[in-house]
Amino acid sequence: MMKTELYTAGVTQTETTDLASLGFTLGSLPVRYLGLPLMHRKLRLSDYRPLIDKLTGCFTNWANRTLSYAGRKQLISSVIYGTVNFWTSAFILPKGCLKRIQSLCSSTSLWAAWIKSNRIKEESLWSCDVEKAELWTWRSLLHLRPLASRFLRAKLGDGKRISFWWDIWTPLGRLIEIFGDEGLRELSIPSYASVSDACNSNGWRLRGARSPSAEALQIYLTTIPLPNSNTTPDTFY
C-alpha cells in the first residue's frame, strides 16, 4: 500500500474522501510512468524535455568514447530510435521536438568532419575550386553551392568562424561576389581571412574606400559592434 498511488477521474468530492479513507495516497496528473509523462493534454516543451535531455546525454557519452561511424550508426538505429518509438507509441510528438531529435542525430556525422579535414582544410567551402575536385561526389556537392547559398546566412558573434569574403554576414551579400578578386587587394584582406582577422581592438583593418561598394561596406561596419573574444560564437542559420 505504501508503494501505491490512486488516480481518479469523474468522481465527486465525497467519493474522493471515501477512497482516501482506504489508506491509499491520492495522486494527481501529470505523473511519470515507465519514463513517460501521463497527462490529459497535449505535450508542452517542459513535458518532452526529459526525452531531449536523455538523447543529448546518449550522444555526449558516445562522443566521449570516440565511437566509429559504424558504431554510432548502430547505436542511433537501436537506442535512439527505440527510445523515440517508445514515446511515439503514446504521444504525437510536436514538430519542434522531432526537429531537435533530427538535429541531434545529424550532428554525429563523422563524414562531415572528414570532409572538413581532408577536402576543405583551411579554405572555405565556397572558395574550393571545383576543377580540382577529384571525386565525382565532391564535385557534385560543389556544384550545388549556388543553390545552397540561397538558404544560408551567418550571424556575427566573435567573428572566428565566419569567412570575411565567402559567407553572407552583411546585408550586402557575399562580399567576394560584390568586389571580385580585385577586392582582395582593394581592401587588403586575404581570401582565407575570417571576420575577426579583418579587425583588431582599434577597429576594422580595411583600406580607405576606393569604390561605392567599399564605401557601402564601411558605412555598414560602423553600425555594428566589433567582434571580439568576449562575445558569443558565430552562428549559421
State how many domains the chain has: 4
Are 138 and 73 in the same domain? no
Note whether 56 and 80 are within 8 A (CB).
no
Do 230 and 161 belong to one domain? yes
pTM of the model: 0.54
β-bridge partners, 235: 155
Q: How do strand 25-26 and strand 5-6 relate by DSSP bridges?
A: parallel
167 with 128, same domain: the answer is no
Write down the residue that cell numbers 513517460 correspond to.
36
Q: State the Cα torsion 78-81-82-88 to the nearest 10°.
A: -170
Q: Are residues 69 and 58 in the same domain?
A: yes
- Residue 156 sits in the same domain as residue 227: yes
The answer to whether the beta carbons of residues 199 and 226 sit under 8 Å apart is yes
Averaged over successive runs of 10 residues, the pLDDT of the chain (237 residues) comes to 80 83 78 71 74 82 67 74 81 82 74 78 83 84 89 92 92 92 90 90 87 92 89 90
- SS3 state at 24: coil
Collect all residues with Cβ–Cβ distance below 8 Å to 22 and sequence separation of at least 6.
6
Q: Which three cell numbers stand for residue 224?
A: 555594428
Q: Which domain holds residue 170?
A: 152-236
Tell how far CA 123 is from the center of its chain.
Answer: 22
My answer on whether 138 and 172 are in the same domain is no
Question: At 18, which amino acid appears?
Answer: D
